[in-house]
Amino acid sequence: MLSDLRTLARVLRDDYAPRTATESVTVSDRPHGRLRRYGTRDQFDAAREAGAVPVVLVPPLAVPASCYDLAPGVDPANSVVEFLLSAGTIPYVVDFGDAARRLGFEDYFDGFVPRAIADAIGDFRAGSNTVDLLGWSLGGTLSLLTAAHRRDLPIRSIITVGTPLNYSKMPMYAAVRSVLAPTDGKPIDYVLKALGGIPAPLVQLSYRATAWQRELRKPKYILDNLDDHEALVRMQVIDRFQDAMPGYSGKLSEQMLVNLVVRNEVGEGVLHLGGHTVDLRAISAPVFLVGSHRDAIVSHAAARYGEKLLTSSSHVEFHTVESSHLGLLTGADAQAHTWPAIAAFRESLVTSLA
């Protein structure tokens, strides 16, 4: 009984799960584009010697870059970084930090991500001098926008996990589009301008609301699992991740509302962002897509739409993993299904190019 009370106290004061991170070094420290390379020197040297293609991890907007490295060394199912390292791949992650009010999508696909790719290739200096891009949620959108807009970049492939590719196929936005389409989103756009974007607390609350059952059951879950160390660690790691979500900048939030939701430019294939016209249908690199029927944020149909959208890609492959939005990327379902599928896709690229 006393040990249970101690465990409960540690959970309530957020002192139960260890705070860990995979060993990394900073390759470049640009504003809104800090690039880190994961792994030990021995892992780095071995990957270069083997000619392995590195992976640049592109985080979603308003999500910390730590989404790819949750609880390493504590739970092997909670770190995409550890999975990639175990497969002999060197992962790099671009950390955007907090978005300034003036930043729009164009700053990412025409600036931050291309520079990260160049820095990663300059650091790795081996093999074919190409990279694979891997993006979860809107990180996948940024990856695709980058590949479409900067076709000169040495991108071998793009991997998207839970990425929305047609907002008209997402029920949660249907009502928004029907109400705002006649005014091109102007009423809410004015509100976003006045607020300077979407504040962090609202982003965090919105994300938690997609799994409201989990939030309601949390007190009982804690009490039922006081003797289950791994269950409590997983819960606290996810809670910390959610609490670290920053907000959306003013310009980004306006573009998301008008260009992505109301106009559904992603689904149409051509986006008009910050003076740039980006045609996703022009992407020629192979693309691997992952989606789920259980994802409360991105519908299965919206994630799978890339099969119809990416008409110039040399190979488009879709893989279904039945899990939550975060569960597609990290956790037991990802470890059992998403990660092996990604590994098989990347291996197929090696075979096809041999």
Question: What is the tens place of the pLDDT at every residue in 247-268?
Answer: 666 688 888 888 998 899 999 9
Contacts of residue 212, Cβ cutoff 8 Å, sequence gap at least 6: none
pLDDT at 62: 76
Alpha helices in 13-170 (DSSP H): 41-50, 80-86, 105-107, 113-124, 138-149
d(CA 246, CA 204): 8
pLDDT at 190: 47
pLDDT at 195: 46
**3-class SS at 317?**
strand
d(CA 203, CA 190): 18
pLDDT at 97: 80
- Phi first, then psi, for residue 64 (nearest 5°) are -65, 145
Which amino acid belongs to residue 201?
P
Question: What is the tens place of the pLDDT at every residue in 38-76?
Answer: 999 999 999 999 999 999 999 998 788 889 998 777 777
Counts of helices then strands in the chain (DSSP H, E): 17, 12
Contacts of residue 235, Cβ cutoff 8 Å, sequence gap at least 6: 218, 221, 222, 225
Q: Please, are residues 173 and 140 in contact by the beta-carbon 8 Å criterion?
A: no
pLDDT along the chain (354 residues), means of 10: 62 63 92 92 94 95 86 81 96 84 88 96 85 96 97 96 94 68 53 51 54 63 70 71 64 85 94 95 97 94 97 97 93 95 95 68
Beta-bridged to residue 94, according to DSSP, are: 35
d(CA 33, CA 51): 26
pLDDT at 200: 52
Question: Which domains are seen in the chain, by residue range?
Answer: 2-353 (3.40.50.1820)
pLDDT at 142: 97
Q: Can you give the pTM of this predicted structure?
A: 0.86
d(CA 188, CA 183): 10
